[in-house]
Amino acid sequence: MIKYMLAKEKDIPGGTAALFFSFSAIMWFIIGTGLGSFNAAKLAFPDWFTHSYALQFGHMRQVHVMAVIFGWITGAFAASAMYVVPALGNTKLWSEKLGVWNCMMWNVGMAVGLSSLWFGMTSGREYSDFIWPIDLYIAFVMVTPLFVNIFMSIVTRRTQGIYTTNWFFAASFFMLIIVFLIGNIPEFFHLTGLNEAYMTWWFAHNVLGLLITPVAAAITYYIVPKVTGNPLYSHRVGHLHFWSIVVFYSTPAAHHLMSSPLPEWLKSFASVEGVLILVPAVAYVCNILLTMQGRWSMFVENIEIKYTITGVLLAIPLNMQGGFQQTRAINWYVHGTGWIVAHAHLALLGFSTFAEAAAVYYGIQTLTRRKLYSLSLANFHFWMLLIGFSLYWVSMTIAGLIQGAGKIYEVPYMDVVIAEHPYMIVRWLGGTLVFIGNWVWLYNMYMTVKAGEKLSVGVQPQDVAYAR
């Protein structure tokens, strides 16, 4: 990597930055899920690894969240944007060198940020836990170069129109910078009280709503038509998806605080806007699933499509939960329970992780022009992810319903803790499966780059997936 950081732009092979980002994203995914599994173990078996400041649950929980969101998910987004945008624009990445530096600075930022968080330097605000110097670093040193690179690659494209995927890439990375700068105003300028609390959730909502869901969707807009060979079902519906995200998605932030004493009009407004999120959601899911027409066999046969479509199918319960659990009628029951934890994992470990895993699998094969090293290992990884995730999701949903019942029927809290305990153990099992699966994935990807069969000119990975 250092070699390419100092090399001249023309000496760096195309796709280098995307490859670096892919592998660092996988590494962060392993670290993030490892921490997740360890945290889950601490909740199930609290007397495991005691006496230690560093290994206490409250010090590691946020490190898990941040490693996964900014190391894995956003890193994988960067990786996919860096090869998808040039491919769609029939051009090269605007600056491969900037991309390589970007990846290096990204990993440095994550390492410094996560260790400071781990050792207790926190802003005490959920999802914007990083202290403000790190927030500024993320906005200006990590995300801004990424945005500039992607945006300029779109501007210098050699095709006429801009495909749906690229609208999302360009808009989302830009919005991420804005969200970081505005969402952290309470820390930069010391805003206090309910303003601070509300902005915390404005930030959290928009990192999910303006970055993670749209970019994961953007990836599927690329992978599905590309791999199946079907054109996108409707560009109009794609428009509807994009514009309704821009208009609605950033508005319902207050629905995260339905039980707090925020102004009532704000909560009602947020709740209505929250239901409107179903517009982009339904448009998107229908669009992708209809694109699959006639090629559904690939859902079983092709590994990238298997990942992508699983992600899209998981987006259905995700959006149905998201649209309705924030209404007052339902929120009073599930607020603050494991149900919400399950929902968050449905979005991050379900929908978006599956979409990104597809993009990384596909990207590494096309960039190195090598066939996947082992399809069986890829399938193994898929099932580890899916089973692990399902165990997690089902157990936390049940635990959440138990907590909700405990809350409204005024059950003594201790009884709720006891009733939840089996589900805590299942959650740990699920997380561990995901963690183990990811090691297999890393191995498979490494071997693909090192020893995968070379693809001959003009052949796409999906064409030879079954050739021996």
Partner 1 sequence: MGFREYRVGSILFGVALSTSMMITLYMPSLDISGVSSTATALEKQLTYGKINAFDYGDLFLHGTDKPIKVILKKNPATGAVMDEVAAYVFKPGTSFPSGLKHDNILGDDVQALSVSLGKMNKATEAKGGVFLVSTKVTNGVETPYIEFATATRGWGVDATLKAASETILAGSGKTMFIREGCWWCHTLLPEETHDWQSFGRPPMLGDFNGESPTTFGSDRKAPDLLHVGSRNSSKEWMMLHFFNPRLVQPHSIMPRYDYLWGGKDAKGNVIDLNKWDVEFNAYRDGERVYPPEVPDYADDSEIRYLIDFVLNLK
Cα dihedral: 91, 378, 459, 446 (round 10): 60
Q: How far is CA 419 from CA 287, 398, 406, 422, 423, in A?
A: 42, 10, 10, 7, 8
> In the set 13, 124, 229, 422, which binds partner 1 (CB under 8 A)?
124
Q: What is the CA radius of gyration of the chain?
A: 22
Q: Which does 266 bind (CB under 5 to 8 A by kind): partner 1, ligand HEC, none?
A: partner 1
Q: Which of 300, 414, 457, 467 binds ligand HEC (CB under 6 A)?
A: 414
CA–CA distance, 32 with 269 (Å, rounded to integer): 35
The partner in contact with residue 198, picked from partner 1, ligand HEC, none with C-beta cut-offs of 5 to 8 angstroms by kind, is partner 1
Does 294 bind partner 1 (CB under 8 A)? Our answer is: no
58 binds ligand HEC (CB under 6 A): yes
What is the nearest approach in angstroms of ligand HEC to the Cβ of residue 187? 22
**Residue owning tokens 């899209």:** 312
Q: How far is the CB of 105 from ligand HEC (least distance, A)?
A: 33
118 near 63, Cβ under 8 Å? yes
The H-or-E segment that residue 64 falls in is helix 57-66
Amino acid occupying residue 53:
Y
How many residues bind partner 1 (CB under 8 A)? The answer is 83
**Which CB atom, from 339 or from 373, has the smaller least distance to partner 1?**
339
Q: Which does 456 bind (CB under 5 to 8 A by kind): ligand HEC, partner 1, none?
A: none
Q: Between 141 and 419, whose beta carbon lies closer to partner 1?
A: 419
Residue 43 touches ligand HEC, criterion: CB under 6 A: yes
Residues β-bridged to residue 454: 370
List binders of partner 1 among 150-179 (CB under 8 A). Answer: 155, 160-162, 171, 175, 178
Return the number of the residue (419 or 464) whose C-beta is nearest ligand HEC: 419
Interface positions, 413-452, toward partner 1 (CB under 8 A): 413-414, 417-418, 420-421, 424
Among 115, 259, 293, 379, binds partner 1 (CB under 8 A): 259
Number of helices (H) and strands (E) in the chain: give both, helices first: 21, 0
- Paired tokens of 318: 């995700």
Residue among 408, 422, 451, 459 that touches partner 1 (CB under 8 A): 408
Pick one of 15, 75, 145, 186: the residue that binds partner 1 (CB under 8 A): 186
Sign of dihedral through CA atoms 399, 402, 406, 407?
Answer: positive
Q: d(Cα 199, Cα 189) in Å, to the nearest integer?
A: 12
Spatial CA neighbour of 424 closest among 406, 402, 399: 399
Chain residues in the site for ligand HEC (CB under 6 A) = 43, 57-58, 413-414, 417
